[in-house]
Amino acid sequence: MSNLLKSSYYFPLQVTIDDREPASLEYEFRKLGNMIIHRQRLAAGDYLFDGNFLVERKTVPDFCLSIKDGRLFRQAGKLIKSRIPSCIILEGKKRDFKHTDFSPQALQGILLSLSLAFRLPVLRTKSTRETVKVMLQSFKQLTRDRLEEQRFYPRPSVSKTKNDLLLAQKVHVLGGFPGIGADKAERLLMKFENLHGVFTAGEEELLNVPGIGKKTVESLIEILKK
């Protein structure tokens, strides 16, 4: 499982958990290790992985309640507007649906709407432990193409020194910007050597870094200027 959790060769996976989520899921993540985990209020979703994958988690009771009060489709809209690859995880067993006010046909229609109209995958799990496992497997599947990038843009070998922590902290700071994440943060630091170099670089210089696109650069510059 440790190989699954590596967001890059040298740095742990960064998991941001919405501060309204139960502690039981954070505990499951911490048991696996090799992660930087912190809580904050997320504008969209409940779990953000390396800034590259967003998950909205719903238990069966909360899923049904969110349909009644209108939250579900508002939340789905926020996931789409975030422009980060996203999914919804519906956690619970089949028998849990028997205690809701919705017929199987009504629930199926809502799930189809999320999948087809909103184009949001809906994944099913039975427990918190399985939810964590599915989220990590989904993240791994989503970022599999990065292995191809690493063939063309290999990272230099890194010796374990007292400076490793400082470098990891730089990656953590830079990777928190929208659309960057740990892998792109490493490439930027390889190019500009430090955070000051990245933050003061021009648009054309940033675009010359492999894997850094125009939208990412525009977002970074906009945040820094504001």
Find the DSSP H helices in 19-161.
23-32, 60-68, 71-81, 104-112, 128-142, 146-152
Does 163 score more than 60 pLDDT? no
pLDDT of 208 strictly over 50: yes
Classify residue 39 by burial, with Cβ atoms within 10 Å: 0-12, 13-18, 19+.
middle
> What does DSSP say about strands 35-40 and 13-18: parallel, antiparallel, or unpaired?
parallel
* 85-94 pLDDT tens trace: 999 999 998 8
| Interior/surface letters 147-156, b for 16+ CB within 10 angstroms, e for the rest | eeeeeeeeee
pLDDT tens-digit series, residues 136-151 = 999 888 876 454 444 3
Predicted TM-score (pTM) of this structure:
0.61
Catalogue all structural domains in the chain, each as residue range(s) with its CATH number: 2-142 (3.40.50.10130), 158-225 (1.10.150.20)
